[in-house]
Structure 1
């Protein structure tokens, strides 16, 4: 689970993903083809590969640190408010220092063609976005493609490999585990999605909330 701040002042919870660039374009703009079922994503993906959109801006992120002592602090009581459910986020109006001498935060400069932040291994039954993730790893996985080399070819390889998670094998797909992040688009129009729902376009930030939820399921049957 993650807590997300959007540019219009909302604070929401995310259990799945934050999407920016082509992955958000495909998810959002394929809605008009909903009558096609799951094929709508393929149709929109082909369009976006042929006419890729460039997203300028930057991403600030806080690298995951197994020694971070905030990991076990997310215990909810009757007095807990949503404003208290974070440890590393500043107000969106305040800049984040990325000076290595004074801050643990780091910055990735765009432009980007693909940005996906996930807390689970799969986005759907046929999309393995982050194969190494588990339900209790305590971090978000930030993955992205910068505009380098053949954008169309790189996007085609990535989107085709999402069915089995093999896109992580490509050297142009960069990824890292993070505790918190901030996306700052340079443009004023584009698509940003949280758990498959479009949100206002602008700066957006989030932080993983380890130990805040409990997942219950049936143990596998052993014959």
Structure 2
């Protein structure tokens, strides 16, 4: 078993390099023949606030946009394609790119204060509807996407996409308990099972997410994304649990 931890203060809003580093860490864990399950967790108040919107806003060209789109695609794919099952342990806010990670995980354990959502339209971006659709039914996904609202861990548990909801203090132990149960199976069979389950997935999550990203590029090139981001963090926009200024897109 291996634990991969996201730790980028203050709200785990990752810059371009952070997404690639996360992808590398998950892939390395999956390649280790001694590992039978990976736990993806995070330090701090929340699991993930998505990408660093300030990095996008402050880039006069499109390098940051291109970089973060590739970085997110790499990180999401690393979780999905990991050779062994991935258990996501989610506390606090899980927004934007965080949904991409969690939606591609094999199982999700969450704290009772966890909330999940895509504030993309408020951040001048699009994306990760592919992954939100793996967590909630289709019409709920659309309503959440258009409004930017969030759902709770308890609601996702009711939909069957969260395995277990526990008090925050119990989250690490609960995630490790599930991971140990999974890791108790034969390692070769686990890897075959992961490949088989991915092979029968009704949606190609890599292709569908890249399709979504094409519209993110269009929003960026047309200027609408810059117009929305121009006031981000300066109009009193508050982030998750009062954090300001960095959270938000996939």
TM, length-normalised to structure 1:
0.24
Normalized per residue, the structure richer in strand is 1
Q: Which has the higher contact order (CA 8 A, sep 6+)?
A: 1
Normalized per residue, the structure richer in helix is 2
TM, length-normalised to structure 2:
0.23
